[in-house]
Amino acid sequence: MSEENEELEDLGAGLEEPTTETITRVTGMYKEWFLDYASYVILERAVPAIEDGFKPVQRRIMQSMKDLDDGRYNKVANIVGHTMQYHPHGDASIGDAMVQIGQKDLLIDMQGNWGNILTGDPAAASRYIEARISKFGLEVLFNPKITEWQSSYDGRRKEPINLPVKFPLLLAQGAEGIAVGLSTKILPHNFNELIDASIKHLQGKRFKIFPDFPTGGAADIANYNDGLRGGKVRVRAKMHSPDKNSIVITEIPFSTTTSTLIDSILKANEKGKIKIKKIEDNTAANVEILIHLPPGLSPDKTMDALYAFTNCEVSISPLGCVIEDNKPLFVGVTEMLRRSADHTVELLKAELEILLYEVEEQWHFASLERIFIENRIYRDIEEEETWEGVISAIDKGLKPHIGHLKRTITEEDIAKLTEIRIKRISKFDLDKAQQKIQSLEDRIAELKHHLENLIQFAIDYFTKLQTDYGKGRERKTELKNFEDIIASKVIIRNTKLYVNREEGFVGTALKRDEYVCDCSDIDDIICFTKEGTMMVTKVDAKTFIGKNIVHVAVFKKNDKRTIYNVIYRDGKTGPNYIKRFAVTSMTRDREYPMGTDEKGSYLHYFSANPNGEAEVVSINLRQQGSIKKIKWDVDFSDILIKGRTSKGNLVTKYNIKKVDLKEEGVSTLKPRKIWFDDSVQRLNVDERGELLGEFRGEDRLLIITQRGIAKTIIPEVTARFDDDIVVLEKWIPKKPITAIYFNGERQLFYIKRFLIENEEREESIITDHEDSYLEVISTDYKPRVELVRVKPRGKEQPDNEEVNLEAFISVKGIAAQGNMLSKSKIKQINLLEPLPYEPEATIPAQEVEVNQEEVVSPKNADDDQVITSKIDSDVPDPDIDHTGQSSLF
């Protein structure tokens, strides 16, 4: 048999033999592999280390940049390639990580197009952009002498386990990562505030730190929870309205870009939640998104809607998770900063100890060198023929002179002495040598002092960092409390509501039937039927309520000002009752009876009154039996407002023929009390902040700003206010306003008294000159001021002068320049207590106390009008006329 055939037989025999390998189940393999993979992703990719604040790829990038650093810029592609010696992943992930570090503008000096965090534009290709370590990075990141090293993934190089970062870098840059079953989200904080907090911690003081985002905006950190799980930060764009037809967004929330923000605005517009005319993105170095509004749309209400329905407000949930001792650690930002500050102290101590050792070694050798040359010990080795003899001769020559040295002499020290060149010995200067030793001794004393006062040294270190690098790193994000925006109050009414009263249907799809009002798809509607039932239901295409609907309107939850006036028959043969009530809350899609739950109830009269109006009606009875009085008047103002479940007051037990409206009603509700909450710069009716007064429907607010702008507005809870308001109070039209301002053109103070002439227009009360400014503003009837004049050179200080401003100048037009206050230069103007004045008494409203949910404008749409309904008992199917304020049927 040939050798080839034998080999084939052996191969065949091997195949026929039964296998003896152990079977490993896939489930067991998967369990081990999954844990290995999860641990790898958590420790090596997604979560930063608490010691230096870096993820592994970031640490390797910075070490590569240090390897290549020569003070000049390097191509990013070159840095990425060098980093691949440390990092076992592709160039794309390294390049993206490096761009993210660069965009934080702290550790890397960038050159070229590195992208834009505002617009979301990506960076150019790595071959086109360059980078180098910033001066700050060089100062706080590196020190090979105190760095622990480990082998790289292939064993060819050494890489740092952690960089010796002497700064709370993790909190300054922030971090975000998603691992397997674990994630982290540490928000960025302000550079200077972190240094201040580190110093406070070292001083034993308490501190608090809050996020500061590179995109600016405003943040509500009330629920920050120290950056731990369960916390929440609400971030808003900054915007203002330069005129009545536009809104300008100047700063955007963190985690958004102008592109994503505009997309969210367009989507909200398409869904009908907001209404805009067009939008322009003019962003360059700074954000500028211009939103054009349709005519007649309120900019204040639109801004609230932008916060409610778009990315103009985002909620960020922080989660402080870091790696410590190769394990995940959940920790708050306060503890992170404490650990960072303490770690910085340890690193500074290690650096000082190494530096002290090096300086002491320099002093030791400088002292030996001086002894060696000054005492000509080098001559003792001329006769020696062996190395051991040379060492012994020098050692013997040094012994009489080494009593002041701080350590013993080693053979290495003597060997270094033999390396001194003859040229150096010949030019040795004793005085210079002594000066050098003295300077080294001074340096040693300084280092020992720093080690003895380590905390103060660390504080000085942080202070120096702030001095050198803190300029231009002021806080960008404004911290403030946000008011809660109720979506139903700011959403644009984007659809129309219709009703088929006879058949009992309401909805947005009944376009052939009667139009009721505009509404939104998140509104609730309230309905009343002729049978005395009421129901609240969601806006839908078509909903059955019940036949013979008498009233349909958008339902406002907790609305205690809309009062329903009703006269109804309780049951088929029951007595007739009158009642006034408000509907503040109901279970959706449930029928509620007007009185008892008896069938056959009937509404004789119905009216919905948005401000609690109480009319006078005439009751007409059927002529039957011995009834003597078949007609009389009823005033609803005599009826107390009760809950919707109240049965009401008895009108008559006889059959009512009809009820006629005799006299329109006036509001019986107490004027609304309105407060101003300075913390959120908004009005409210919840008793938060400063009470501005009691307001009826026609009352307005007076606003005057430091820029000299005066205007009046209707007090709505959606109104927004500038930060420079100096007057905010209830406007009394006949009450004069007194202003003292500096006339920039004439460089003198002027005084004027005026009334607001056009309540719908804002006007300037000072001149247009750039140097003009408002000095004093008063809304008192008889204000007084004290003038402090400038002391003339070489003369005594003039006495202060009190001026009665009411007697000084009469009331003129708002556009008038006014009168000169004084020809002499004035140093200071102090507003004094006004003279007594008793204004005319006002007629108080009827004291009917009703809690207010919101401030309603008297110029609102049709659904704020009084809706009155009369049902004629002789007509089985009433003919409904819904034409305005009243409808009779």
CB 122 within 8 A of CB 71: no
Q: What is the 3-state secondary structure (H, E, C) of 654-713?
A: CCEEEEEEEEEEEECCCCEEEEEECCCCEEECCCCCEEEEEECCCCCEEEEECCCEEEEE
- Asked about 224 being catalytic, the answer comes back as no
Output the pLDDT for position 1: 42
Q: Is the pLDDT of residue 760 over 80?
A: yes
Average pLDDT over residues 133-139: 95
Closest-CA residue to 467 (of 455, 475, 476, 459): 459
Per the model's pLDDT, the better-predicted residue between 474 and 382 turns out to be 474
Q: What is the pLDDT of residues 242-274, one digit of tens each?
A: 888 899 999 999 999 999 999 999 999 998 888
Output the pLDDT for position 89: 83
Confidence label for 127 from pLDDT (cuts 50, 70 and 90): very high
Name the catalytic one among 37, 40, 128, 357.
128
Q: Is the pLDDT of residue 878 over 70?
A: no
**Half-sphere exposure of residue 579: CA atoms within 13 angstroms, side-chain side:** 19
Confidence label for 685 from pLDDT (cuts 50, 70 and 90): confident
The beta-strand segments (E) located in 396-485 are: 478-479
Q: Which amino acid, 704?
A: I
Output the pLDDT for position 863: 41
CB 774 within 8 A of CB 743: no
Q: What is the four-CA torsion angle of 421, 423, 427, 432, rounded to 10 degrees?
A: -30
Output the pLDDT for position 24: 62
Q: What is the pLDDT of residues 285-319, one digit of tens each?
A: 899 999 999 988 888 889 999 999 999 999 999 99
Query: CB under 8 Å to 98, separation ≥6 — which residues?
Result: 61, 76, 79, 80, 83, 108, 126, 131
> Which range (180-189, 519-528, 721-730, 879-888) has the least confidence?
879-888
Round the CA-based radius of gyration of the chain to a whole number and report it: 42
Q: What is the pLDDT of residues 336-378, one digit of tens each?
A: 999 999 999 999 999 999 999 999 999 998 888 888 888 888 8
Q: Is the pLDDT of residue 859 over 50?
A: no
Whole-structure pTM value: 0.76
Closest-CA residue to 759 (of 734, 733, 780): 733
Average pLDDT over residues 694-704: 86
Average pLDDT over residues 408-414: 86
**Number of Cβ within a 10 Å radius of residue 128:** 12
SS3 242: strand
Q: Is the pLDDT of residue 856 over 60?
A: no
Is the CA virtual torsion 541, 544, 546, 548 positive or negative? positive
Average pLDDT over residues 623-649: 87
Query: CB under 8 Å to 656, separation ≥6 — which residues?
Result: 567, 569, 576, 604, 619, 620, 621, 622, 873
Output the pLDDT for position 190: 96
Average pLDDT over residues 729-739: 91
- CA–CA separation, 594 vs 528, rounded Å? 9
- CA–CA separation, 66 vs 840, rounded Å? 80
Mean pLDDT, the chain, integer: 86
Q: Is the pLDDT of residue 865 over 70?
A: no
Per the model's pLDDT, the better-predicted residue between 875 and 275 turns out to be 275
φ, ψ for residue 831 (rounded to 5)?
-80, 125
Cα 242 versus chain centre, distance = 22
Average pLDDT over residues 280-284: 92
How open is the CA angle 315-320-321, to the nearest 5 degrees? 130
Q: Is the pLDDT of residue 851 over 80?
A: no
> Which range (63-77, 615-629, 798-812, 865-879) has the least confidence?
865-879
Q: What is the pLDDT of residues 194-217, one digit of tens each?
A: 999 999 999 999 999 999 999 999
